[in-house]
Chain A
Amino acid sequence: MDRKILTIDDSKMVRMIVEKTFAPYNCIVTAASDGSEGVEAALRDKPDIIFMDITMPVMTGLEALAKIRQTPEIAATPVVMLTAESDAQRLGAADALKVAGYISKPFQGDQLVLLTHKLIGLTRKK
């Protein structure tokens, strides 16, 4: 069955890299460009995994993550932070909100695939 992946990032480039990275696998990638849109998209699409930026307009990734954890329908969704901000304070805040992983930008597509496979399993398209 297709895995559902949600990328929440204000950079179109990052959203496109995530889509391109998962194109060879059986999955559907949807995207949102800020934290608030991201929470809405998560409620609508019920993704199997979310990749979340931190620095975004309207609502930051950490605020969106807190919101997701407080929303029963999506509270248990694995969320992986994908961000350039990886100081001790941000790491601690994300850890307290039970992130499933933390990938620091600059990143490579392989890192996303490996972690996603480990967390929810991925199969290649035939």
Chain B
Amino acid sequence: MSDSADLLAKFKLAPLPENVLRLGKLVQGFNKHSALIAEIILSDENLSKRVVQIATRGKGGGTKEEVESAVLRLGVDLINMVVMTELIVHALNKTFTTMLHSPLDPRDEISVMGDRVWGMIHFKGSANGRVMIGIPVSAAEWIVSQFLGEAAPEDPMEIVQDVVGEMLNIVGGNFKSNLCDAGVDCTLSVPSVEIREFAKLTIGDDEKRQTLYFQTDRLMLSLDLLINPLVSQK
């Protein structure tokens, strides 16, 4: 079998972005020395800043010393969460820019009234967790019209759950492929989708949760990443 770069070239698929490759190395390096983790984080300016900000509650910058002490202070589980978050945001952005030509802006919070379409997907294997996405019903209807134009059914609600499920599948599939290429093998479940005002979510004792909010000029959405500690750590 030819190696991954050859196959990407053969099928004219885009090579993995530098930051995803770097994050992949990071995931593989979790069991190694914290100095190596710090070194990989330092090679990405945004990631350095984010790690330090989480460790210092927004007060730090991204110098070498700050990153090294942040890595020690946060420990592997939290760094793992930061890395996974970076990968899932990358997948979400790629999906929105390619399919909806609509870049996402991160927000500290969003205010949504009424029902939302909630989609959930599980990943299992060397990494275990869940990704949940929440999109207001009106925004999901807009997405249907963007995707299908005149071909959209007269009542977009007929297909709203399918559309959110497939978007989550695409985001989750890209995320999972990045993890696999980083040596963290896992499989993805078929998404489950429901429409309700608030998410129905029970969080496990071991699970860590990160909620992110985004806005575009047409919609708002929330994304939750719930992860269990990496299996290899146990």
Q: Which residues of A contact B (CB under 8 A)?
A: 10-14, 16-17, 19-20, 23, 55-57, 83-92, 95-96, 99, 101-102, 104-108
With CB as the reference atom, state the residue of chain B lying closest to A17. B147
Q: Which residues of B contact A (CB under 8 A)?
A: 1-4, 7-8, 10-11, 13-14, 94-95, 98-99, 144, 147-149, 151, 159, 162-163, 165-166, 169-174, 176-178, 180-181, 185, 188, 190
Q: Is the interface of A mostly helix, strand, loop or mixed?
A: mixed
Chosen A-B contacts, 14 in total, with CB atoms closer than 8 Å, are A10-B190, A13-B144, A14-B166, A16-B147, A57-B190, A84-B174, A87-B178, A88-B180, A88-B181, A89-B180, A89-B185, A92-B1, A92-B2, A102-B11
B contact residues around A17 at 8 Å (CB) = 147-148
B151 touches A19 (CB 8 A): yes
A contact residues around B144 at 8 Å (CB) = 13
Number of A-B contacts (CB under 8 A): 97
Name the contact of A84 in the complex, choosing from B149, B151, B165, B173 (C-beta under 8 A): B173
B147 touches A108 (CB 8 A): no
Name the contact of A107 in the complex, choosing from B98, B163, B169, B176 (C-beta under 8 A): B98
A20 to chain B, nearest CB (A): 4
A86 touches B159 (CB 8 A): no
Q: Is the interface of B mostly helix, strand, loop or mixed?
A: helix
With CB as the reference atom, state the residue of chain B lying closest to A101. B11
Of all A-B residue pairs in the complex, the 7 with the closest CB atoms, nearest first, are A84-B173, A88-B4, A87-B180, A102-B11, A11-B166, A106-B98, A87-B177
Determine the distance from Cα of A84 to Cα of B179 in the docked complex, in whole angstroms.
13
Name the contact of B8 in the complex, choosing from A55, A91, A105, A106 (C-beta under 8 A): A91
B98 touches A108 (CB 8 A): yes
Determine the distance from Cα of A10 to Cα of B170 in the docked complex, in whole angstroms.
13
Determine the distance from Cα of A57 to Cα of B191 in the docked complex, in whole angstroms.
11
B173 touches A55 (CB 8 A): yes
Name the contact of A87 in the complex, choosing from B99, B149, B176 (C-beta under 8 A): B176
With CB as the reference atom, state the residue of chain A lying closest to B165. A11
Given contacts A55-B190, A84-B177, A101-B11, contact A13 B1 (CB under 8 A): no
